[in-house]
Amino acid sequence: MIRSFLDAHGYDPGPSQRPLLSGAISGLLATLPAIGILVAFGSLKVEAAILGMSPLATLALGWAAMAIAGAAYARFFGRAANAVRGGWLFGMSFGFGLWAAGAVLLLPILNGGRTPADAAAAGVALSLIVWGLATGILVPFVHRPLHESLERASKNADVGPSAAAAKDESIRKQRRSTTN
Amino acid sequence: MIRVVALNKAIAAGLAGAAAMELFSVLSTAAGLRTVDMVAELGGLDFHGMPLLAHVGGVVVHLAIGICWAVFYAFFFWGRFHLRPIFQGLLFALLPATLAIVVVYPELALMRVHQPMLTLDVHRFFAPLGWATVASLLVDHALFGAALGLIYRRPVGYAVGRKPAPPRARRSGTSAPKRNPNASGFMFATGVECSYPTIDHGTWRRDEMESTRHYEFWQDDFRLAREIGITHIRYGPPLHLIFEAPGRYNWEYIDPQMAELEEFGPEPIIDLCHFGVPAWLGNLQNPDIGKALQEYAAAFAERFPWVRFYTPVNEMYVCARMSALDGLWNEQLHDEGAYGRAAWNLADASIRMSDALLERRPDAILINGESSEFYQPCCPDPEIEKIAKAANERRFLPLDLIFAHKLSPDMHELLYAQGISTADIEKRERRKVPRRSILGVDYYEWNERLIDREGHARALGELFGWYVIASQYWQRYRRPMMHTETNKMDAHGAARWLWRQWHNVQLLAKSGVPLVGFTWYSLTDQIDWSIGIAEAIGLVYPVGLFDLNRESRIVGLAYKHLIDLYKDHPDYSECKALKELMQ
């Protein structure tokens, strides 16, 4: 459904953009304030206990997960994620979605129903929303220096004269494969 | 970008919605009803013993959440359904209401349990939810949605009479390349979309430059055009903002951009009137618009004497049809006679403006851009053929008037019925057309139409193609030509469309038609393009070389590829037809 909300508006990242890399970097950076919140609310210890890991290992796992989540965010929201005006909102929505689907739903199912409560639960919610907010704010700025130049990207054969004979859908597929 | 968001409106709507929810809670509690008070729920989490702080914290979080949902509504949801705004808001409210019931409210209850960890099952998770709670949350969110729907409307444009902020001041120190010194090379052009008709019966101004944030990013826009290799840019200063009254001009809306274009380029093709007139001139039915716009053209040419390329009035046929026949812009009429009057007035304006420009700049080059339409009858039904014939004659009317082509008897009759004398019409037919007049022919995939059995025009897609349709215009007017607009609404197929249009241009040039340029329109994505900007929805259409973040689209790269490939080719590095006009 979300895709249909976005589709037909050319939201796909352009061929000169690197959404996965910029999303992953943004996701990693955005984890810093989220960790602060997790520590302040005592959520980190509780999550570590639920997962049966040390807090440090929990952090490392969380960091990797957030890099992947950041990449998924930037790829999924595409050009919308690159908007300085709206990026914060998409990021926060994505963070909220991660909380609802991951922390509230998936985590208890995977861990025999064990879930954080009290301040620890508030910390988890807040940290993911802040992570999303920070990722949303960062992506528009991180992705710019990662751009391929117009000069170089325009040399790509796919955008050259052969495009006249291509089917719309194959152009689309070609672009996807070169983008990622 | 998916939709243009009016952030201030969205924030106001979110605040109002959240306030409506809280007001309902306070009033229903005062009336003795047990309802959910989200402010109390949110504030009660971590401020035990500090009720005031808890309340303030709760209010702040509640309002912030309201704003977030409102922005979310504005970006993803607004205008998606053809419903009254209040019902759109109510429908949308189902989403936050569902999340509040299924996730947020039960989680808030968990956050008040004084132990760090719990083992949950479904029953325990949803235990805090009773029927009264669910009903209360639904009513709360319905109020939120209603407020949102009522307040968040018309995110693009502004009330007639209001003025948007002037363009951002010019930044110095740019290292961008200077203007293209090759004055007689083929024109590889684009344009900044600049339509400014009124809608809602003259009360609401659409201003595409404002909606696409060109007033903010204009310097970046010109730089990007230069980076692609664009040599000429179709550019329409906002007539409705500049021409304040007879003899009174507010040049702050255009001075910085013109200074940049003069120094760095691309070479501007100044579009003096693009689908609208200032409010004080009323609409296209006003017979005085010709004289008024003549004065404006003279003032413009005096202020910017270095400008050589002009489009006096853009797409006169489209403007007259959308305003007087289709009832979408300006006067919003559905009347054949009103179409005739609008077409006559626009052609009159175009001729007077041309004369004023040539008086001040005798070597000015006039590019009269028009949409290339064609109507095909679906069947040998005399009634259907008659409708198609009338539509085909109508499309030529404004160009016939400015290019001194004899009018068909029906078009002559149409104008005569509007009180335009035969002597005036014949004067137009005898007019000496300025030598440096170019016929601009725009083409989109909906320009070829079929008149179906019901007599309605339906888009045929690219049936004959630009080559065939443009040839009809060439045969009729025999003027140097330019492909002045094209684009494709499907961003993924735009590169294909670009190259195919280019091959049409090449073929027409090879057939001996003097062709001086090609245009991808426009530089950036456009707003509400598919509905002819007839409603203020704010939908973004990916037709630009760049999106509204000013990042390249595939077609932007393809156009650069095309320009790089052809700009030094002998046929294009010096365009014979343009060189002749420039002399």
Secondary structure of B516-553 in the HEC alphabet? Answer: EEEEEECCECEECHHHCCCCCCCEEECCCCECCCCCEC
The reported pLDDT for the residue numbered A30 is: 97
Calculate what percentage of chain A has a pLDDT beyond 90.
Answer: 56
Q: Cα separation of B539 and A88, whole Å?
A: 20
Instruction: Decide if B544 contacts B522 (C-beta within 8 A).
Output: yes
Q: Cα separation of B234 and B523, whole Å?
A: 10
Q: Supply the DSSP string of B216-267, one letter for each residue.
A: HHHHHHHHHHHHHT--EEEE---HHHHEEETTEE-GGGTHHHHHHHHHH-PE
DSSP label at A41? T
Q: Mention every residue, 6+ apart, whose C-beta is less than 8 A from residue B575.
A: B184, B185, B186, B187, B515, B516, B517
Inform me whether the C-beta atom of residue A97 falls under 8 Å from chain B C-beta atoms: no
Instruction: Identify the sign of the CA torsion B5, B11, B16, B17.
Output: positive
Q: Which residues of A touch B562 (CB under 8 A)?
A: 161
Structure tokens at A69: 């989540």
Number of folded domains that form chain A:
1
The reported pLDDT for the residue numbered B176 is: 64
Per-residue model confidence as pLDDT tens digits over B405-450: 999 999 999 999 999 999 999 999 999 999 999 999 999 999 999 9
Q: Which residues of A touch B99 (CB under 8 A)?
A: 100
Per-residue model confidence as pLDDT tens digits over A67-125: 999 999 999 888 889 988 889 989 999 999 999 998 888 888 888 889 999 889 999 99
Q: Supply the DSSP string of B306-317, one letter for each residue.
A: T--EEESSS-HH
By C-alpha distance, the chain B residue nearest A3 is B76
Report residue B82's pLDDT band, with 50, 70 and 90 as the boundaries: confident
Q: Cα separation of B530 and B381, whole Å?
A: 31
Between chains, do A166 and B496 touch, taking CB under 8 Å as contact? Answer: yes
Q: What is the mean pLDDT of residues B457-479?
A: 94
Which of B466, B492, B504, B555 has the most A C-beta neighbours within 10 Å, making it the best mutation to test the interface with A?
A: B492
Report residue B46's pLDDT band, with 50, 70 and 90 as the boundaries: low
Q: Which residues of B touch A14 (CB under 8 A)?
A: 547, 551-554, 557
Q: Which residues of B touch A119 (CB under 8 A)?
A: 46, 111, 116
| CA B570 to centroid of chain Cα atoms | 36
Report residue A9's pLDDT band, with 50, 70 and 90 as the boundaries: low
Report residue A180's pLDDT band, with 50, 70 and 90 as the boundaries: very low
Report residue B43's pLDDT band, with 50, 70 and 90 as the boundaries: confident
Report residue A156's pLDDT band, with 50, 70 and 90 as the boundaries: confident
* Domain covering B189-582, topology: TIM Barrel (3.20.20)
Q: Mention every residue, 6+ apart, whose C-beta is less than 8 A from residue A28.
A: A63, A66, A67, A70
Between chains, do B565 and A161 touch, taking CB under 8 Å as contact? Answer: yes
The reported pLDDT for the residue numbered A4 is: 54
Least confident of B90-99, B119-128, B170-179: B170-179
Strands of B124-209, DSSP E: 158-159, 187-191, 198-199, 204-205
Q: Cα separation of B126 and B554, whole Å?
A: 49
> What amino acid is encoded at B31 in this protein?
A
Structure tokens at A148: 């391929």
| Nearest CB to A80 within list B1, B490, B541 | B1
Per-residue model confidence as pLDDT tens digits over B305-354: 999 999 999 999 999 999 999 999 999 999 999 999 999 999 999 999 99
3 state SS of B292: helix
| Nearest CB to A15 within list B80, B554, B565 | B554
Least confident of B16-25, B169-178, B240-249: B169-178
φ/ψ of B375, rounded to 5, equals -120, 125
**A48 CA: distance to closest CA in chain B (Å):** 11
DSSP label at B3? B
| CA B381 to centroid of chain Cα atoms | 38
Per-residue model confidence as pLDDT tens digits over B223-250: 999 999 999 999 999 999 999 999 999 9
- Chain A stretch 13-72, residues whose beta carbon is closer than 8 A to a beta carbon of chain B: 14-17, 42, 45-46, 49-50
pLDDT at A172 over 70: no
Q: Which has more pLDDT, A8 or B295?
A: B295
Report residue B67's pLDDT band, with 50, 70 and 90 as the boundaries: very high
Report residue B514's pLDDT band, with 50, 70 and 90 as the boundaries: very high
Q: Supply the DSSP string of B431-485, one letter for each residue.
A: ----TTEEEEEE--TTSEEEE-TTS-EEE--SSS-HHHHHHHHHHHH---EEEEE
The single residue listed with the structure tokens 């528009």 is A140
Structure tokens at B115: 């132990």
| Nearest CB to A82 within list B80, B118, B549 | B549
3 state SS of B31: coil
Q: Cα separation of B442 and A155, whole Å?
A: 28
pLDDT at A8 over 50: no
pLDDT at B212 over 80: yes
The reported pLDDT for the residue numbered A16 is: 81
Q: Cα separation of B296 and B276, whole Å?
A: 14
Instruction: Decide if B468 contacts B428 (C-beta within 8 A).
Output: no
Q: Which has more pLDDT, B45 or B560?
A: B560
Per-residue model confidence as pLDDT tens digits over B111-125: 888 888 888 888 888
Q: Cα separation of B270 and B65, whole Å?
A: 46
Q: Cα separation of B459 and B450, whole Å?
A: 6
Q: Cα separation of A180 and A19, whole Å?
A: 8
Q: Which has more pLDDT, B383 or B51?
A: B383
The reported pLDDT for the residue numbered B55 is: 81
- Chain A stretch 120-139, residues whose beta carbon is closer than 8 A to a beta carbon of chain B: 120-122, 125
For the entire predicted model, the pTM comes to 0.92
> What amino acid is encoded at B249 in this protein?
Y
Per-residue model confidence as pLDDT tens digits over B526-576: 999 889 999 999 999 999 999 999 999 999 999 999 999 999 999 999 999
> What amino acid is encoded at B203 in this protein?
T
Between chains, do B558 and A163 touch, taking CB under 8 Å as contact? Answer: yes
- For strand B374-377 and strand B232-235, is the pairing parallel, antiparallel, or unpaired? unpaired
Report residue B197's pLDDT band, with 50, 70 and 90 as the boundaries: very high
Q: What is the mean pLDDT of residues B162-178?
A: 84
Per-residue model confidence as pLDDT tens digits over B139-156: 999 999 999 999 999 999
Instruction: Decide if B4 contacts B527 (C-beta within 8 A).
Output: yes
Q: Which residues of A touch B45 (CB under 8 A)?
A: 122
Q: Cα separation of B92 and B148, whole Å?
A: 9
Instruction: Decide if A118 contacts B97 (C-beta within 8 A).
Output: no
Structure tokens at B154: 């018309």
Q: What is the mean pLDDT of residues B199-218?
A: 97
Does residue A69 sit within a domain?
yes
Domain spans, chain B: 7-151, 189-582
Does residue A108 sit within a domain?
yes
Between chains, do B553 and A118 touch, taking CB under 8 Å as contact? Answer: no
| Nearest CB to A9 within list B118, B542, B564 | B542
pLDDT at A63 over 60: yes
pLDDT at B482 over 60: yes
Domain of A49, in residue numbers:
16-147
Count the Cβ atoms, other than its own, within 10 Å of residue A57: 12
Which of A94, A107, A118, A179 has the most B C-beta neighbours within 10 Å, making it the best mutation to test the interface with B?
A: A118
Report residue A158's pLDDT band, with 50, 70 and 90 as the boundaries: confident
| CA neighbor of B503 nearest in space, from B490, B486, B489 | B486
> What amino acid is encoded at A42 in this protein?
G
